[in-house]
Amino acid sequence: MKTQLIIPLTLLLAACATGETKVETKVEAAQPKQIEESRAVAKTLATQLGGKLKESINQNGPAQSISVCKEIAPQIAADLSKQTGWQVSRVGTRARNAKTGVPNAWQAEALASFTERMKNGEKADTMEFAQVVTDSTGKHLHYAKAIAIQPVCLTCHGPADTIAEGVKARLITDYPLDQATGYKEGELRGAVVITRPL
């Protein structure tokens, strides 16, 4: 009998000594201004990336332009993160780069929401998802803007049998664990995601 009392008391004392307390996660609706500001940053990333990609394809061809998504896209996101003080990045429904493109739990929830909404006829390029989440890390606005597959995206993300050999070879070199092919135009590719401290 004493042992049963001692163990819980020991655990309680250990928890008090470490200062651990469980913070319940609270989810609230994002405010229209927060969404508008986040949308503008997501649009800036998409516009800058789209411009760089088209320019590179015209000048260097598709195979050499893979470096735009590999190197320039993360740099654009990093620059926007520095300018805003927010965490700005992209995630995919299927990862091309396992180090940077895999969604966390909240981002996976946003992508699942987009997928469900598309089944109901909504277009991917109009969708966004935003919540204010308070948890053990603090209070943050989480925002996701859906990325739809555009015709230019099919050059590197389309069905394997339609991707040019030079592009395939470059993808194998740059992304040996690539899972991000087999898409069709209009399909959900992923999202621009923003985490913003409040």
pLDDT score recorded for residue 23: 67
> For the residues 17-24, what does the mean pLDDT come to?
59
Helix (H) or strand (E) holding 119: helix 105-119
109, part of any domain: yes
> For the residues 115-119, what does the mean pLDDT come to?
96
Read off the tokens for 102: 């895999």
pLDDT score recorded for residue 99: 81
Q: How far is CA 187 from CA 59, 65, 101, 116, 181, in A?
A: 27, 22, 17, 12, 12
Q: What is the pLDDT of residues 79-93, one digit of tens each?
A: 999 999 999 999 999
What's 57's domain CATH number? 3.30.450
18, part of any domain: no
Give me the domain span that covers residue 98. 27-197
pTM of the complete model beyond 0.75 = yes
The C-alpha atoms of residue 39 and residue 100 are separated, in whole angstroms, by 21
Phi/psi at 53 (5° precision): -65, -45
Q: What is the pLDDT of residues 52-106, one digit of tens each?
A: 999 999 999 999 999 999 999 999 999 999 999 999 999 999 999 888 889 999 9
13, part of any domain: no
Read off the tokens for 86: 């927010």
37, part of any domain: yes
Q: What is the pLDDT of residues 124-174, one digit of tens each?
A: 888 999 999 999 999 999 999 999 999 999 999 999 999 999 999 999 999
2, part of any domain: no
pLDDT at position 1 over 50: no
15, part of any domain: no
pLDDT at position 179 over 80: yes
> For the residues 32-42, what does the mean pLDDT come to?
97
Phi/psi at 123 (5° precision): -85, 135
pLDDT score recorded for residue 12: 41
Band (7; pLDDT cuts 50, 70, 90): very low
Starting at the edge strand found earlier in the chain, the sheet holding 26-29 runs 26-29, 128-135, 138-148, 188-197, 87-92
Phi/psi at 88 (5° precision): -115, 130
Average pLDDT, the chain: 89
pLDDT score recorded for residue 22: 64
Strands of the chain (E only): list them.
26-29, 87-92, 128-135, 138-148, 188-197
pLDDT score recorded for residue 98: 82
- Indicate the number of domains in the chain: 1
The number of beta carbons lying within 10 Å of the beta carbon of residue 125 is 14
1, part of any domain: no
- Choose among 42, 29, 34, 33: nearest CA to 127: 42
Contact between residue 195 and residue 87 where contact means Cβ atoms under 8 Å apart: yes
pLDDT score recorded for residue 21: 56
Contact between residue 64 and residue 54 where contact means Cβ atoms under 8 Å apart: no
Read off the tokens for 156: 């590197």
> For the residues 46-54, what does the mean pLDDT come to?
95
19, part of any domain: no
